[in-house]
Structure 1
Amino acid sequence: MISNIQRFCIHDGSGIRTTVFFKGCPLRCAWCANPETQHTCAELMIYHARCGQCQTCISACPAHALSLNGGNIQVDTSQCTLCKLCVKACPNRAISIKGEVLCAQEILDIVRRDKPFYQTSGGGMTLSGGEPLYQPELALELLVLAKKYNIHTCIETSLACSFSVVEKVLPFLDEIYFDLKHTNNTKHKAGTGISNTQILDNIEHLLKQRPDARMRIPVIPGFNDTEKDILEICRALKEFPISSVELMWFHNLGNPKYSALAREYPYTHISPFSDIDKKKIKDNYQANGIVVIHS
């Protein structure tokens, strides 16, 4: 199940890339910017800011799953069959369905369209999500096919899976980015819904086999941005053969997606970091012996 295939990406690895967003993730990060990738099933999204309340979608729905309530179109997910008739009927493109079943060859046929751009920029295909290794068979098949077509490969992963899954894809990966949310297990559970024990073990195993893999730390207000948090993280990092990290700054650009999915977003009223705050956080990392790159 794929959420989206985004072409001409420049932040998901080297060069110009096509990023394949997998649907499904074992984590439930409270700050997640792509909530539409969390579940493995297809989902209807209604962007209320675009809606003109013409109710054309309501008339088009054969399952009577849509209604106007409190000035907004709402969906009864127990009735919705994801037939896409409302999507086609909406004149403002306010409705979309995220989630499509595609085989590896179908995905690669899309990825291959931009191969000339990959060759001139050093880019290629990136597997992201969600968590691409949550669908290990599809991820592996995609990577094998990409190498068959001489396409550079990259993955963005939380490493929240069995390391046997990671080992299978390593031979077919040119570039690896992995996240570390927090080294404190209690905080990690509170922020993501799962323990970090397996993740930390996987980081250790991964860096032994692929010391070129790059660590990214999402910096989240109130979760891992204090001096105490940074000190704890840096002390733990010294157990790994790692001297630099990339900091991924919190943003709330995913807020409209939560509304479109009729979900609450815990960080709605939390502001992004100021430049002064960013400098202070970077300085804290570097004062503790960790070099910050590309932030």
Structure 2
Amino acid sequence: MKKGTIINIQKYSVHDGPGIRTTVFFKGCPLNCWWCHNPETQNKRHQIMFFKERCKGCGICIKRCPENAIKIIDGYPIIDNNKCTLCSKCADFCPNDAREYVGKDLTSKEVMDEVMKDEMFYEDSGGGVTFSGGEPMLHVDFIDEILDECREKEVHTTLDTSGYASWESFDKIRDRIDLFLYDLKVMDKEKHKKYIGVDNTLILSNLKKLSKHGHNIFLRMPIVVGVNDDDKNIDDSIEFISKLNVLQVNLLPYHKMGMEKYKRLDMEYKLTGDEKPSDEYMNKLKEKFERAGIKVKIGG
């Protein structure tokens, strides 16, 4: 039985597809979006997050570390990642929860057992399970195992994806995915490469194929001031979407809720945190999409 690296199984989720859902967040992503609000999902490896504000400098983590990978720097215990083996003892024994171990390897049965605990909520609300991340398509063989059981137990399935995976991977599971939540971030290839880390050729190609095959698709468009809110990108997006078969477009205004996580992971946050579009602008965008005959919703 295959294992997947999971950071969280979130119950009673209402923004990741229809009804009440259980969202499985996978670790690992091939992209590097500047505004990513779940940076702990980017690295496929397990990680340790450090909450500096909780640390009392007691030194217990130093004593518990079997690799002598922690030392005090400027009054705080800092991990030497070259020595750390991610044994998690520094997190396990911290009395103030200043360290958090991110990532757990679970079998498909363990995940499915957790999903099915809320079966009655799915039946009453039309909900189900959503595979998210990170990029769940990095775990396509693992998801493949779960989907068979979802079909058997009539659990609605949603895949929240960036689209950056081989078509062969999508083709392997697409017949058992009831709804795709598909990201459309930037239309210009070079800007996409700058702000997301890869160009968008594969992403757009997969989207066209899923649309051609008649799959249920909700497009998700994050709106980030100074990145993709310009008229050209919006117009190009509308032109592209108008040729597709999609059920809905969700316009998602940028937020900075994940900003603090970057510090905890010793990662660089490349935006200022002030890139949120105004409500007035979001409403104007909504009207523009609607004039083009596209069903649109702000948020979700």
| 1:164-179 superposed matches below 5 A | 164-179=168-183
| 1:33-72 superposed matches below 5 A | 33-72=37-76
1:282: Cα distance to partner? 2.5
Q: What is the match of residue 89 of structure 1?
A: 93
How many percent of aligned residue pairs carry the same amino acid?
A: 38
| Alignment counterpart, residue 80 of structure 1, candidates 84, 89, 94 | 84
CA distance in 2, matches of 1:61, 1:24: 26
Deviations 1:40-89 (A, max 9, x none): 11111111122222222222212122223224332111111111211121
CA distance in 2, matches of 1:15, 1:112: 15
Q: What is the match of residue 275 of structure 1?
A: 279
Deviations 1:189-244 (A, max 9, x none): 11111111111111111011134211111111211112222112212223323474
| 1:245-284 superposed matches below 5 A | 245-284=249-288
Deviations 1:153-182 (A, max 9, x none): 111011111112112212211222111111
List alignment gaps of at least 5 residues for structure 1. none
| 1:1-295 superposed matches below 5 A | 1-242=5-246, 244-295=248-299
**TM value normalised by structure 2:** 0.92
1:35: Cα distance to partner? 0.9
Query: Does the CA-based 8 Å contact 1:155-1:177 persist in structure 2?
Result: yes
**TM value normalised by structure 1:** 0.93
Amino acid across the alignment from 2:126: G
Residue aligned with 1:218, SS:
strand
CA distance in 2, matches of 1:154, 1:239: 23
Q: Specify whether residues 59 and 224 from structure 1 end up closer, same or farther in structure 2 by C-alpha distance, changes over 3 A only.
A: same
Query: Does the CA-based 8 Å contact 1:44-1:82 persist in structure 2?
Result: yes
Query: Does the CA-based 8 Å contact 2:242-2:292 persist in structure 1?
Result: no
Q: CA RMSD in A?
A: 1.8
The number of aligned residues is 295
Query: Does the CA-based 8 Å contact 1:105-1:145 persist in structure 2?
Result: no
List alignment gaps of at least 5 residues for structure 2. none
CA distance in 2, matches of 1:273, 1:52: 38
1:287: Cα distance to partner? 4.5
Q: Specify whether residues 153 and 51 from structure 1 end up closer, same or farther in structure 2 by C-alpha distance, changes over 3 A only.
A: same
